[in-house]
Amino acid sequence: MSTIALIVAIVALLVALGAAGLGWVAHQRHQLIQRRYAVLWGEGEADVATVLAQQARRMGAERARIDAMERTVADLRGDLAQTLQHVAVVRYDAFGDMGGRMSFSAAVIDDNGDGVVISSIHARGESRTYAKGIVGGGSDTALTPEEQQALAAARDDSSPAPGADT
Long-range contacts of 30-39 (CB under 8 A, 24+ apart): none
At residue 41, the pLDDT reads: 62
112 and 145 assigned to the same domain = yes
99 and 152 assigned to the same domain = yes
Structural domains in the chain (count): 2
Average pLDDT over every residue of 147-161: 78
At residue 163, the pLDDT reads: 45
Which one-letter amino acid corresponds to residue 68?
Answer: A
46 located within any domain: yes
Please give the mean pLDDT across all residues of the chain: 86
Which one-letter amino acid corresponds to residue 122?
Answer: H
pTM exceeds 0.85 for this model: no
Position 40 confidence tier, pLDDT thresholds 50, 70, 90? low
66 and 14 assigned to the same domain = yes
**Which three-class secondary structure state does DSSP give residue 139?**
coil
34 and 62 assigned to the same domain = yes
Residue 43: is its pLDDT beyond 70?
no
Which of these three, 62, 80, 98, is where a domain ends?
Answer: 80
58 and 103 assigned to the same domain = no
* pLDDT tens column, 48-69: 778 788 889 999 999 999 999 9
Domain limits for position 30: 3-80
11 and 63 assigned to the same domain = yes
**DSSP assignment of 44-102, as one string?**
S---HHHHHHHHHHHHHHHHHHHHHHHHHHHHHHHHHHTS--EEEEEEE-SSTT--S--
At residue 108, the pLDDT reads: 95
